[in-house]
Amino acid sequence: MRTFVWLVRAAVFFTLFAFALNNQHDSSIHWFFGQEWRAPMVFIVLAAFGLGCAFGIFAMVPSWWRHRRIARDRARRTDDVVAPMAPPAPAETTPTHPPRDGL
């Protein structure tokens, strides 16, 4: 399984490396008010990917904080009310099959 994972990683790396080598020509992004950014296309794609990841992380932060606060409050409530645990009741043993007459 480890060999398979490393083969997949190598395939992804070489695919991205070939993409970077094939897209070295300059490209431009036109912003507002006549602003323009010229860079190799691989940098533009990398920047778009990085900005997308950052935006996704920043969008999730409030939800993470809320869930963390809820978990902390629940842990605090369970620490405040610690009741001694009673031992579990013995389970009743009932036969799974009724006894047969004559055996």
pLDDT at 75: 85
pLDDT at 17: 85
**Inter-residue contact 24 to 42 (CB < 8 Å):** yes
What is d(CA 83, CA 78) in angstroms, rounded to the nearest whole number?
Answer: 9
The pLDDT profile of the chain, 103 residues, written as one tens digit per residue, is 889 999 999 999 899 888 888 877 888 888 899 899 898 888 888 889 899 999 999 999 999 999 999 988 888 887 666 556 667 777 666 666 666 766 5
pLDDT at 80: 63
Annotated domain spans of the chain: 7-77
pLDDT at 97: 67
Helix ranges restricted to H, 1-85:
2-22, 41-80
What is d(CA 17, CA 46) in angstroms, rounded to the nearest whole number?
Answer: 12
The pTM for the full model equals: 0.52
pLDDT at 45: 83
Q: Which whole-number Å values give the CA distances from 5 to 1, 8, 12, 19, 66, in the listed order?
A: 6, 5, 11, 21, 35
pLDDT at 29: 86
What tokens appear for 99 in the block? 């006894």
